Amino acid sequence: MKTIELRDFYKTLSELNNSFTHYSFVWSQFNIDYSETLEKNPETLTKDYFETNPFKRKHNIKFSELDKEHSKTNESLIKGIFLLIYTHFESYLKDLFLFAKTVDNEIQPLESKIEDVDNDFMLIDKTFNRIEVKKEKLQSELLITLDYIRLKRNRLIHSNTENISKSLNKLIKSDGKTLNEYWNSKLPSGLQGIDFNNKDNANELTFSIVIDVINIFRRISNEIDKVVTEKLTENLIIEKIVIPKFKDVLRKKINGIKTQRVISKFVKYCQSEYSLTVNDKQIELLKRSIV
């Protein structure tokens, strides 16, 4: 079973990936098409050459400066996309928490204080603690990777400091090699840009690193989704979320459709929206809800 929240997060990651790939393709092709022209005319202004471009006056520079400007733009875009990816991951966790709270309204709000809990600072901790999912359900490498990406993000936000944080330095020393081995064995093409065992790499952001982060978040979010839905149980999720949403999709039509036809539509709905193959007990939950 996969939540719609996970599907939406995947879609967002794909859109970010496609957008940046598109930008990289266009710039690379521009270089291929105009490299000779740029080299022969370094003093030419962009507004004088690209006369029909609507942005020619807002971005009027010499050809000799284009490559430098591209590097600055590329750096800003990569940083922005990296931060967006992390922000969307946190949004996914919040959406998943609301999903869980809809299933079980006794789950405490994220802002509430929980007694006898050592770690309740990070969003992943808050989410798991309130849904009562043990962090041990996730492989330790996934949690350590989340720490690494969080610390890398913090490093980029506070880029005025010269050195990486003590926490990030300690993580690289103690777990860097293990994380490299883990992700090289889990990702289809291995790690393309991230080197968890390299301090300099912690300060870098490249296209390949961003792609690694996207692929890593896909796998981590999938595992988080799995342990949360297992904790909530499929039957309760179907009763509290899937059936009400299904009935809302059909609206009043459900009253004029034969039961077997409703069941058939429900089976297809569960498969397409939640990657869920329903069993007889879950079909009985549907029947009871439409009596």
Cα distances (Å, whole numbers) of residue 4 to 60, 108, 229, 278: 46, 22, 12, 16
Same domain for 249 and 144, yes or no, is: no
d(CA 87, CA 42): 40
**CB-CB contact of 286 with 280 (8 Å):** no
C-beta separation of 78 from 210 below 8 A? yes
Question: Is residue 241 domain-shared with residue 222, that is, in the same domain?
Answer: no
The pLDDT of 173-179, averaged and rounded, is 97
Write down the pLDDT at residue 116: 73
Residues 240 and 228 in one domain: no
Q: Which of 11-15, 26-30, 173-177, 239-243 has the lowest mean pLDDT?
A: 26-30
Domains identified in the chain, total number: 2
Q: What value does the mean pLDDT of the chain take?
A: 93
Tokens encoding 57: 């006056």
pTM across the whole model: 0.91
92 vs 154, higher pLDDT: 92
Mind listing the pLDDT tens digit for each residue in 191-215? 999 999 999 999 899 999 999 999 9
Q: Please check whether residues 258 and 145 belong to one and the same domain.
A: no
pLDDT, tens only, 137-171: 999 999 999 999 999 999 888 766 667 789 999 99
How sure is the predictor about 7, in pLDDT bands with cuts at 50, 70 and 90?
A: very high
Residue at which a domain ends, from 185, 209, 232: 232
Angstrom distance (rounded) from CA 290 to CA 283: 11
Average pLDDT over residues 63-71: 91
Same-domain check for residues 81 and 164: yes
- Shared-domain flag, residues 111 and 163: yes
pLDDT in tens, 209-243: 999 999 999 999 999 999 999 999 999 999 999 99
Rounded percentage of the chain residues whose pLDDT exceeds 70:
97
User: What are the residues whose beta carbons fall under 8 Å from the beta carbon of 19, sequence distance 6 or more?
Assistant: 81
Q: Which of 64-73, 151-160, 173-182: highest mean pLDDT?
A: 173-182
Domain that holds residue 199: 4-232
Looking at the structure, tell me whether residues 20 and 162 fall in a common domain.
Answer: yes
Residue 92 and residue 39 share a domain: yes
- Residue-level pLDDT at 160: 64
Domain match, 245 and 226 both: no
Using the 3D structure, point to which of 232, 249, 274 is the last residue of a domain. Answer: 232
Instruction: Check whether residue 96 and residue 86 sit in a common domain.
Output: yes
SS3 134: coil
The pLDDT assigned to 156 comes to 84
Work out the burial of residue 99: count CB atoms within 10 Å of its CB; fewer than 13 is exposed, 13-18 middle, 19 or more buried: buried
Are residues 169 and 269 located together in one domain of the fold? no
Do 223 and 141 have their domain in common? yes
